């Protein structure tokens, strides 16, 4: 969430920057600043009324003590009127703050200066590419056919038990899935991240804290009776561990990782491009989250990018990195890099990770601050990335490692799963 003081100070620059997102902020900024002016004026008036009331209360006590009952009773009548006025002002102040907050929740983050303008994913910039696309034998299959041939993932069974988008992993498919999770976690811990095992449901405050609510409310599974939400990513519970915290500069950097299943309704997603593992309602993911001071957050983002590059190099999968344009940038992000693996059998790129710097956008919602060296309270910068999301990584492995004899297992995973071939 943007800070009102920053909107006032950088209004024109923010309006220009948000045009990269195709978001016209001029009118909404005017509304924000008018509401903030009303809030400040109402608060000032309320403070004056309360100060007058307190002063009169002290005078009334002295008057009664001195036997001046008539004067005391006259002042009591005035304080009654002041109490009524303060009640009205308090209600107006609460309503103004609520309305201001509601509007601020609808304004996306300011994109970093390096974010290109654009409307959709077609306008994203490729900034890096590595790995050779393998040449497959004639008759090579997409992963959903390989899964059926080798009986390692059963999409029909998942559909029977729950519905479309909830696959069942079987035998070597389940073991390979578990191997990937463990390897990703081990690599994160090696890189200095502390592992956490988090709840799979969060409350509404957590959803608002990281920006999933109200922006993505329709994409989250909501348990209405308990007013809890199934997590769309481990970012939500991990980052919310620090909600309402006041940290010290010596606490940084904070590096966290965690494996969780993730749940997304993916409403409106249909067609061949979402077939098999390409898009699911439940999937596994290892997440990395960082808290940094503002001066170090972009160096931290680069470090996270390098970490994910290292994973893909070891898996020997062809990949590329995209800098997302304004039109494809997530609501809360200032800068996002997407990683995509090339699916040889599908002849298309599959997104397998997003790495983002939110700057202080989430921290303002979370009320997450730290005391700097001058003891000034400053908002923290938050970052997160998938390291990695499993379904499309697994799809890339199945498709790119297929041979006439079966599917080879990437060398780094063999010690984790105990076999080197699926056949």
3-class state of residue 114 by DSSP: coil
| 265 marked as part of a ligand binding site | yes
| 351 marked as part of a ligand binding site | yes
Return the H-helix or E-strand segment holding 248: strand 246-248
Contact (CB, 8 A) for 143 and 398 = yes
| 97 marked as part of a ligand binding site | no
- Enumerate residues 6+ apart whose C-beta is below 8 A from 401: 407, 408, 409, 410
Q: What phi, psi does 374 have (nearest 5°)? A: -95, 10
CA-nearest of 169, 165, 156 to 275 is 165
CA of residue 23 relative to chain centroid, distance: 20
| 266 marked as part of a ligand binding site | yes
DSSP β-ladder status, 377-379 and 369-371: antiparallel
* Residue showing tokens 């920053």: 6
DSSP 219: G
Q: Tokens in use for 223? A: 């348990």
| 354 marked as part of a ligand binding site | yes
| 235 marked as part of a ligand binding site | no
Contact (CB, 8 A) for 196 and 256 = yes
DSSP bridge pairs for 355: 337, 385
CA-nearest of 244, 243, 218, 241 to 229 is 218
Contact (CB, 8 A) for 341 and 318 = yes
Contact (CB, 8 A) for 263 and 388 = no
Q: How far apart are CA 135 and CA 231, in angstroms?
A: 38
| 352 marked as part of a ligand binding site | yes
Q: How far apart are CA 57 and CA 184, in angstroms?
A: 66
| 356 marked as part of a ligand binding site | no
| 384 marked as part of a ligand binding site | yes
| End-to-end CA separation in angstroms for the chain | 51
DSSP β-ladder status, 282-292 and 319-323: unpaired
Contact (CB, 8 A) for 421 and 408 = yes
| 353 marked as part of a ligand binding site | yes
Q: What phi, psi does 266 have (nearest 5°)? A: 50, 45
Q: Point out the annotated binding site for L-serine.
A: 233, 264, 287, 384
Q: Point out the annotated binding site for ATP.
A: 264-266, 351-354
Q: Point out the annotated binding site.
A: 233, 264-266, 287, 351-354, 384
């Amino acid at each position: 969430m943007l800070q009102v003081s920053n909107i006032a100070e950088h209004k024109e620059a923010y309006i220009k920057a948000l045009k990269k997102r195709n978001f016209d902020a001029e009118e909404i900024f005017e509304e924000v600043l008018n509401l903030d002016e009303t809030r400040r004026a109402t608060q000032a008036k309320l403070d004056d009324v309360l100060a007058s009331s307190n002063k009169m209360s002290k005078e009334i006590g002295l008057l009664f003590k001195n036997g001046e009952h008539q004067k005391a009773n006259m002042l009591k009548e005035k304080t009654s009127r002041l109490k009524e006025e303060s009640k009205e002002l308090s209600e107006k102040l609460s309503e103004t703050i609520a309305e201001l907050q509601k509007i601020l929740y609808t304004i996306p983050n300011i994109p970093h200066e390096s974010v290109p303008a654009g409307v959709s994913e077609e306008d994203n910039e490729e900034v890096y590419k590595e790995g050779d696309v393998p040449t497959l034998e004639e008759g090579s299959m997409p992963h959903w056919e390989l899964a059926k041939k080798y009986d390692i993932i059963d999409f029909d069974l998942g559909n029977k038990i729950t519905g479309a988008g909830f696959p069942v992993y079987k035998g070597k498919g389940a073991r390979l899935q578990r191997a990937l999770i463990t390897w990703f976690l081990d690599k994160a811990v090696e890189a200095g991240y502390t592992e956490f095992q988090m709840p799979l449901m969060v409350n509404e405050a957590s959803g608002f804290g990281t920006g999933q609510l109200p922006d993505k409310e329709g994409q989250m599974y909501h348990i209405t009776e308990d007013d809890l939400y199934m997590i769309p990513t481990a970012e939500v519970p991990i980052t919310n561990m620090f909600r309402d915290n006041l940290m010290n500069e010596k606490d940084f950097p904070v590096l966290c990782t965690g494996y969780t299943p993730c749940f997304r309704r993916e409403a409106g997603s249909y067609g061949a491009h979402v077939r098999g593992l390409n898009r699911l309602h439940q999937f596994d993911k290892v997440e990395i989250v960082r808290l940094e001071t503002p001066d170090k957050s972009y160096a931290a983002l680069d470090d996270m990018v390098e970490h994910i590059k290292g994973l893909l190099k070891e898996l020997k999968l062809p990949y590329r990195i995209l800098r997302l344009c304004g039109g494809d940038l997530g609501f809360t992000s200032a800068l996002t890099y997407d990683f995509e693996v090339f699916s040889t059998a599908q002849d298309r790129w599959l997104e397998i990770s997003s790495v983002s710097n939110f700057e202080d956008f989430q921290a303002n919602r979370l009320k997450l601050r730290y005391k700097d060296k001058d003891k000034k309270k400053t908002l923290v910068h938050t970052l997160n990335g998938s390291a990695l999301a499993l379904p499309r990584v697994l799809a890339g492995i199945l498709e790119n490692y297929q041979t006439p004899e079966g599917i080879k297992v990437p060398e780094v995973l063999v010690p984790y799963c105990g076999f080197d071939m699926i056949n």
